[in-house]
């Protein structure tokens, strides 16, 4: 196993050990490993991406859009800075064609009303004074909002909310007495099943905080409220941070997961148990998983493995139907959880991609068709950084195909970024709308 840049667990701390070159320079990043394409792809006819210049609409050209920005998009597709919304996170379209944007940092939800032609939308606050509102989902005229401590339902009509009722309360966040302000993944997401059941995420408190599995309510899980209301119950567990949450065309519930960091090398040999940067760079994968009652996604005891040849140096990587391997830090002997017995992950993304918003679209032109859109936020601790993008997963034969980059270019060659997509949704005009909490913007991506 190559150990050009490695870290060793010592006394519970991660201690970096960098091997220098013969000339005394700093350690270099290891080259990217080969990703094996799927044996069949529904995306064979999709054209290669082409450069396009991002065009700010009137009044949206403040930094970082005070200089020309280039993106890669399908040929002929145009991208505009449609609105400036600081800290823009998750998105939902209202029944009357207005776009809602959650802002956890501001405690509010912003409403964007499309203007005529090329005009920027009008903007107003729909509701404020909330506790880190994040997930948004509609079922008819009912809007569900996931605050950090509860899930609310409102009646929506013509740009106004009424009749607030609490669907689930007492959810853990940084204000919870037992957590004493320590909660890494307090933001919640929400979606509505075809049967009217409500699904919402509760993230883990930390990277490998196994005690979350025994908490009440259970953390690192997806919970379900039955149609018509009732007590929430665990639907899926071992979901470290299932920020992406959406329902597919057949009614299946999917989650896009932010998986663990600084995973130790699990295979036998001198490096077993060490945290090696070139292993961490590609492990574990970030799952895009179909949830069923009782689904187990392994965290923090089992990690989905992209290696086609586990334990071999520079193994090719694959992200479709991937099995789990033991986490040697938390489950070395396999007694905590039998990783080999877990169903494989349907699809995945590269380690530390940080998938956030997830939505399904009925039909995209240029050979894309129906599929899932994922806002990929990009890594924070990978070397080199994994870039932000909007990804597309084709929906064919009742399941999702492999990842396809739909929009990218937010990261410069030196690893610096001017934007980080959070979520993409298709609008009633068939254009895509993309939130960006780093640039404080909503983009409109218009197919040709």
Band of residue 178 on the pLDDT scale cut at 50, 70, 90 = confident
Residue 29 placed within a domain = no
Residue 187 placed within a domain = yes
Strand order in the sheet with 91-93: 91-93, 99-103, 108-113, 122-127
Q: Is residue 398 over pLDDT 70?
A: yes
Band of residue 420 on the pLDDT scale cut at 50, 70, 90 = very high
pLDDT reported for residue 45:
75
Asked if residue 60 lies in contact with residue 84, where contact means CB atoms within 8 angstroms, the answer is yes
Helix (H, G, I), strand (E, B) or coil at 349: strand
Question: Lowest mean pLDDT: which of 36-50, 223-237, 333-347, 433-447?
Answer: 36-50
pLDDT reported for residue 33:
67
Please report, rounded to a whole number, the percentage of residues in the chain having pLDDT higher than 90. Answer: 85
Q: Is residue 5 over pLDDT 90?
A: no
Residue 38 placed within a domain = no
Question: Is the peptide bond between 384 and the residue preceding it cis, with omega within 30 degrees of 0?
Answer: yes
Q: Is residue 14 over pLDDT 50?
A: no
Residue range 382-397, pLDDT digits in tens: 989 999 999 999 999 9
Provide the residue range defining the domain that includes 409.
60-446
Residue 7 placed within a domain = no
pLDDT reported for residue 256:
99
Count of domains forming the chain: 1
Residue range 129-174, pLDDT digits in tens: 999 999 999 999 999 999 999 999 999 999 999 999 999 999 999 8
Residue range 90-135, pLDDT digits in tens: 999 999 999 999 999 999 999 999 999 889 999 999 999 999 999 9
Helix (H, G, I), strand (E, B) or coil at 442: strand
Question: Strand runs (DSSP E) across 121-276, as ranges?
Answer: 122-127, 136-139, 142-146, 151-157, 160-168, 190-192, 198-202, 221-225, 233-237, 244-247, 253-256, 275-276
Tell me how far apart the alpha carbons of residues 305 and 177 are, in angstroms, rounded to a whole number. 36
Closest listed residue to residue 46, CA positions, set 8, 77, 17, 16? 77
pLDDT reported for residue 323:
99
Residue 23 placed within a domain = no
CATH number at residue 220: 2.120.10.30
Residue range 29-51, pLDDT digits in tens: 445 666 665 544 456 678 899 99
The length of the chain is: 448
pLDDT reported for residue 46:
86
The residues, ordered by sequence, that sit 6+ positions from 340 with a Cβ below 8 Å of its Cβ are 323, 324
Question: Lowest mean pLDDT: which of 31-40, 169-178, 260-269, 322-331?
Answer: 31-40
Band of residue 353 on the pLDDT scale cut at 50, 70, 90 = very high
Residue 255 placed within a domain = yes
Residue range 54-101, pLDDT digits in tens: 999 999 999 999 999 999 999 999 999 999 999 999 999 999 999 999
Residue 27 placed within a domain = no
Q: pTM for this structure?
A: 0.91
Tell me how far apart the alpha carbons of residues 378 and 209 are, in angstroms, rounded to a whole number. 23
Is 155 exposed, middle or buried, given 0-12, 13-18 or 19+ CB atoms closer than 10 A? middle
The residues, ordered by sequence, that sit 6+ positions from 62 with a Cβ below 8 Å of its Cβ are 84
Q: Taking CA 425 as the corner, what is the angle to CA 136 and CA 160, rounded to the nearest 5 degrees? A: 40
Quote the tokens at residue 354: 């940080």
Residue 20 placed within a domain = no
């Amino acid at each position: 196993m190559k150990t050009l840049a490695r870290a060793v667990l010592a006394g519970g701390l991660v201690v970096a050990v960098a091997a220098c070159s013969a000339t005394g320079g700093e350690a270099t990043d290891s080259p990217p490993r080969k990703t094996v394409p799927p044996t069949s792809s529904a995306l064979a006819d999709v054209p290669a991406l082409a450069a396009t210049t991002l065009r700010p609409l009137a009044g949206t050209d403040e930094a970082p859009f005070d200089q020309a920005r280039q993106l890669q998009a399908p040929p002929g597709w145009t991208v505009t800075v449609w609105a400036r919304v600081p800290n823009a996170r998750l998105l939902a379209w209202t029944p009357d064609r207005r776009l809602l944007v959650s802002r956890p940092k501001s405690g509010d939800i912003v409403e964007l009303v499309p203007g005529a032609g090329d005009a920027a939308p009008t903007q107003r606050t729909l509701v404020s004074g909330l506790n880190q509102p994040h997930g948004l989902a509609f079922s008819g005229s009912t809007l569900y909002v996931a605050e950090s401590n509860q899930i609310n339902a409102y009646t929506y009509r013509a740009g106004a909310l009424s009749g607030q009722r609490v669907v689930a309360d007492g959810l853990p966040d940084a204000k919870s007495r037992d957590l004493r302000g320590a909660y890494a993944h307090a933001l919640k997401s929400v979606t509505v099943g075809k049967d009217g059941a409500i699904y919402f995420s509760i993230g883990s408190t930390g990277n490998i905080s196994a005690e979350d599995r025994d908490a009440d309510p259970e953390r690192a899980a997806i919970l379900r409220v039955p149609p018509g209301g009732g007590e929430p119950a665990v639907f899926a567990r071992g979901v470290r941070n299932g920020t992406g949450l959406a329902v597919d065309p057949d009614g299946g519930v999917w989650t896009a997961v932010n998986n663990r960091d600084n995973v130790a090398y699990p295979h036998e040999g001198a490096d077993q148990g060490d945290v090696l940067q070139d292993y961490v760079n590609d492990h574990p994968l970030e799952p895009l998983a179909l949830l069923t009652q009782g689904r187990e996604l392994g965290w923090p005891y089992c990690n989905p493995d992209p290696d086609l040849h586990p334990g071999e140096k520079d193994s090719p990587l694959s992200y479709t139907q991937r099995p789990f391997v033991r986490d040697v830090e938390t489950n070395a002997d396999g007694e905590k959880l039998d990783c080999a017995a877990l169903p494989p992950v349907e699809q995945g993304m590269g380690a530390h991609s940080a998938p956030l918003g997830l939505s399904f679209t009925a039909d995209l032109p240029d050979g894309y068709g129906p599929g899932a859109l994922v806002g990929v936020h990009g890594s924070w601790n990978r070397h080199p950084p994994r870039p932000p993008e909007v990804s597309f997963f084709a929906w064919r034969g009742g399941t999702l195909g492999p990842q396809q980059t739909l929009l990218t270019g937010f990261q410069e060659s030196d690893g610096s970024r001017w934007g980080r997509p959070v979520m993409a949704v298709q609008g009633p005009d068939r254009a895509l709308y993309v939130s960006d909490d780093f640039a404080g913007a909503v983009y409109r991506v218009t197919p040709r």
